[in-house]
Amino acid sequence: MSEAEIYWVRPLSKPPEATIEVPGSKSLTNRALLLAALARGSSVLHRALFSDDTLYMAEAWRALGIEVAQDTARQQFSVCGGAGGFPATRADLFVGNAGTAMRFLVAALCLGHGNFRIDGSARMRERPIQALLDALVQLGADVTTERGTGCPPVLVRAQGLRGGTATLDARKSSQFVSAVLQVAPCTEKGVELVLAGPPVAEPYVDMTVAVMHAFGVAVERPRERTFWIGPQEYTGRPYEVEPDASSAHYFWAAAALCGGRVRVPGLHRASLQGDVRFADVLAAMGASVTFGPNWIEVCGNDVLQGIDVDMNAISDTAMTLAALAPFANRPTRIGNVAHLRLQESDRLRAMATELSRLGVRVDEEADSLTIYPSRVAPAVVETYDDHRIAMSLALIGLRVPGIGIRNPACVRKTFPNFFDKLEELYR
């Protein structure tokens, strides 16, 4: 698929009855790649995701002198770690629009010795990173934005990272918190990280701590919104990546929307990924949800209930809720998601614009959307080169004829075979 192509979604002729296997988690794969690169010894990541975001991360580590082998057929990355550092003393890295790769690598580059530059796509150059840089400077880093905009490209003049105490404003991205936590054990003195207010999408911070623990590092939380990580070593190991809950939730939503049954294996109530909680959102809308020992299943019912819900913790799923909302029996309000304006696109504006194009009434506010029950009209929708806009809007086409998705190839960022998997619902 190319940017010029349009993918026409066909309405389902009957409710889906399907078991859908989704690829590995992007968030877990990129965390594991980084920790494996910083570990002493070798690691093999099983069931890893191979997508634009994870391939940017792997290629960056190769450019820094870390051996990263990949086996796409077996869904494996093999990494020979650098024991807290990396050989390269100069590199110019590019990470497209991969937010995790940009934020995590900026912090990791500060552990090196030399001069480094990291850049991304045009949209990445609009995504703020200054709060992370401010925290790293407090820990002894020499790191600035090239253009003085508080956004990439970022320049790092690295001499190792001293550590100490840093206060971090995490209101724009939980990735800033994760970036500092992951490099903290490799600093000279360790790190006390104090958060100025609650982070957005907090389950991702919990995920980071869990992956750090899996690679042998202890993270203490002596007080609320405070982390302490002493100097420690990551240890290379085999690591099994969970299926991506952020990918799975589209198929649970399809069941809720179309009255069918969809099961996704490999996930459960206690999964590391916060986005499994989207199943609870669907339950609040009237779907039947079953959490198995190693699967989650959603069955749709006759009526979708409109809801008012704070989606801050699982904001990657907010666009999917917006796509379901026109079919609900009363208005749906998606709140506390202002940070969505700073991601791969301004996701609040994008969803409001495209739902309006489809004839849906939407009220857009600074940190929320309210979507009203509406008769949806056929149209070709724009995707803003944003994978989550494309995948969420595609769900509407399962109910409404004449829905086209422009630039469907943008899903390569995290879910390259999304449209192939969507086709499995028709069987």
Supply the residues annotated as catalytic.
Answer: 316
Tell me the two tokens of residue 70.
């990949």
Residue 218, number of CB atoms within 10 A of its CB: 12
CA distance readout (Å), 165 to 108, 144, 353, 397: 17, 19, 43, 50
Torsion sign over Cα 334, 336, 338, 344:
negative
The span from the CA of 415 to the CA of 396, in Å, is 18
Question: Which residue, among 140, 130, 180, 181, has the nearest Cα to 160 in the 3D structure?
Answer: 140
Helices (H), 117-188: 130-138, 174-183
The span from the CA of 193 to the CA of 216, in Å, is 19
Q: Answer for the pair 223, 27: CB distance below 8 angstroms, yes or no.
A: no
Q: Answer for the pair 69, 78: CB distance below 8 angstroms, yes or no.
A: yes
The span from the CA of 270 to the CA of 22, in Å, is 18
Residue type present at position 100: T
For the sheet with 191-195, list strands across it: 164-168, 191-195, 226-229, 220-223
The span from the CA of 392 to the CA of 397, in Å, is 10
Residue 104, number of CB atoms within 10 A of its CB: 27
Beta bridge partners of 67: 80
Kind and range of the H or E element at 215? none
**Burial 130-164, CB ≥16 within 10 A → b, else e:** bbbbbbbebbbbebbbeeeeebbbbbbebebbebe
Tell me the two tokens of residue 232.
């420690």
Residue 224, number of CB atoms within 10 A of its CB: 7
Kind and range of the H or E element at 30? helix 26-38
**Burial 304-335, CB ≥16 within 10 A → b, else e:** bebbebebbbbbbbbbbbbbbbbbbeeebbbb
